[in-house]
Structure 1
Amino acid sequence: MRLLDAYLFPALWVGYLAYWQVMSANVKVTQRLEPAASRILRMVLFLSATILLLYPRIPLALLYWSIWPSSRWTFFIGAAITAAGLLFSVWARRHLGRNWSRSVTIKEDHELIVTGPYALARHPIYTGLLAGFLGTAIALTQVRGVLALGLIFISLWAKLRLEERWMRGQFGVSYETYSRRVAALVPFIL
Structure 2
Amino acid sequence: MVKNLYIQGQYIKIIGFLLLFLSLAFSVWARVILGKNWSGVIQKVQGQRLITKGPYRYIRNPIYNGIIGGFIGTFIIVGTLASLLGMLIIIVTYILKTIKKERFLVESFGEAYCH
User: Normalised by the shorter chain, which TM-score bucket?
Assistant: over 0.9
1:136 to 71, 74, 88: 74
Give aligned pairs, total: 115
Matching of residues 167-182 of structure 1 within 5 Å: 167-177=105-115
What amino acid is aligned across from residue 133 of structure 1 in structure 2? F
Which among 65, 89, 106 is matched to residue 151 of structure 1?
89
Runs of 4+ in 1 over 4 A off after TM superposition: none
2:13 is matched with: 75
* 1:115-162: CA deviation from partner (whole Å, max 9, x where unpaired): 110011110001111111010000111222221111001111111111
Residue 122, structure 1, aligned to residue 75, structure 2:
no
Q: Aligned AA for 1:157?
A: I
Choose 1 or 2 for highest CA Rg. 1
Structure 1 letter corresponding to 2:46: E
For the aligned residue pairs, the C-alpha RMSD in angstroms reads 1.4
TM-score of the two chains, using structure 1 as the length reference: 0.57
What is the alpha-carbon distance in structure 2 between the residues aligned to residue 126 and residue 168 of structure 1? 18
Indicate the SS of the match to 1:110. coil
Query: Which position in structure 2 is the counterpart of 1:187?
Result: none
Question: Which aligned pairs between 1:41-120 and structure 2 lie closer than 5 A?
Answer: 64-120=2-58
In 1: Cα distance, 2:60 partner to 2:52 partner: 8
Distance 1:176 1:118 in 2: 13
Which among 164, 170, 185 is matched to residue 102 of structure 2? 164
Residue 65 (structure 1) shift: 4.3
Q: Which consecutive residues of structure 1, in runs of 5 or more, have no partner in the other structure?
A: 1-56, 58-63, 178-190
Give the Cα–Cα distance (whole angstroms) in 2 for the partners of residues 105 and 70 of structure 1. Answer: 42
Superimposed CA distance per residue, residues 3-51 of structure 1 (whole angstroms, 9 cap, x where no aligned partner): xxxxxxxxxxxxxxxxxxxxxxxxxxxxxxxxxxxxxxxxxxxxxxxxx
In 1, Cα distance between equivalents of 2:32 and 2:81: 33
Identity across matched positions, percent: 32
Please, which runs of 5 or more residues in structure 2 have no aligned partner?
none
